[in-house]
Structure 1
Amino acid sequence: EAAVPDVALTRSRDGSTGTATFRFDNATVLSLDDVWDNGLLTGLWLRDEEGELHTRDLDVEFERGRPTRVVAILVLKSVQEWQRFIRFMERYAEANDLSY
């Protein structure tokens, strides 16, 4: 089962840009040997019928030397990208019985 992230949104005052910060606590990907041996944690991809949004801006947070959280930041550089992201999130929320 996929981890459900916390998602924090920020948007510029004029609405032209924004960010979506995804936080995955105790993500199962952190327990896979391939992630550490082969560097397979390379990005976050959001896919739906419109296509794909992605970011390579990732960070892994550690507590007591153990990985505990994956943080991905998706930068939305235009009103169109913001609207596209919101459509993705609406479909994702509906498909997974979530709300925001």
Structure 2
Amino acid sequence: MTDVLPTIELFDGIAEELDNVSLRRDRQSGTRNVLLRFRALKALDRFNSFRSRFSKAIRLTDSEGAIELWPDSSKLVFGGDDGDELDRVEFVVPIDNEDHWQRFMRFMERYAAANDMTYGDRQA
């Protein structure tokens, strides 16, 4: 398969820029949770979301094809002097299947390489 620039979409045709990702594991269930953070969403800029279809999932596309992640939760975090400026958007996605986890990690490696992101363990 040819090289495809890895993209993340919430709305069809609008590639978003991931700001940060945290990988966590629930100690009781063993389920892995991914926290995706976006500083801004292009879908919100100039009402782009009204011109595109909401995919109901986070679509990740790379040279292996497309995968869809279904968030358990999402959060809009506001800040600024008056508390009315969008600071970031966060999505929590559970991944409990090992094959799905491995596929997600391969995507993240490609996305990180294409966007000059680095991986690092949390400092204790």
TM above 0.5: yes
Q: SS of 2:111's equivalent?
A: helix
Asked if 1:60 is matched to 2:76, the reply is yes
Distance 1:12 1:3, change over 3 A: same
Residue identity in the other structure for 1:8: S
Partner of 2:3: none
The one of 15, 38, 45 aligned to 2:59: 45
Larger helix proportion of the pair: 1
Counterpart CA distance in 2 for 1:15 and 1:88 is 24
TM-score by length of 1: 0.71
Q: How far 1:32 moved relative to its partner? A: 3.0
Distance 1:34 1:4 in 2: 18
Q: Alpha carbons of 1:99 and 1:69: their partners in 2 closer, same or farther (altered >3 Å)?
A: same
State, as a whole percentage, how many aligned pairs show the same letter: 30
Structure 1: which 5+ residue stretches go unaligned?
none
* CA shift digits 1:18-53 (9 cap, x unpaired): 0111111133333332547x9958442111232333
Q: In structure 2, the residue corresponding to 1:28 is in which secondary structure? A: coil
Structure 2: gaps spanning 5 or more residues: 1-14, 120-124
- The two structures, once aligned, show a CA RMSD in angstroms of 3.1
Q: Does 1:88 align with 2:107?
A: yes
CA-CA distance at 1:56 after TM superposition: 4.3
The aligned counterpart of 1:98 is: 117
Distance (Å, rounded) in 1 between the aligned partners of 2:111 and 2:84: 33
User: Residue 79 of structure 1 is aligned with which of 95, 98, 104?
Assistant: 98
Q: 2:44 aligns with which of 14, 27, 30?
A: 30
- How much has 1:16 moved relative to structure 2? 5.0
How many residue pairs end up in the alignment? 100
After the TM superposition, list the runs of 4 or more consecutive aligned residues in structure 1 that deviate by more than 6 angstroms.
none
User: What is the match of residue 7 of structure 1?
Assistant: 21
Q: Is the 8 A contact 1:55 1:74 kept in 2?
A: yes
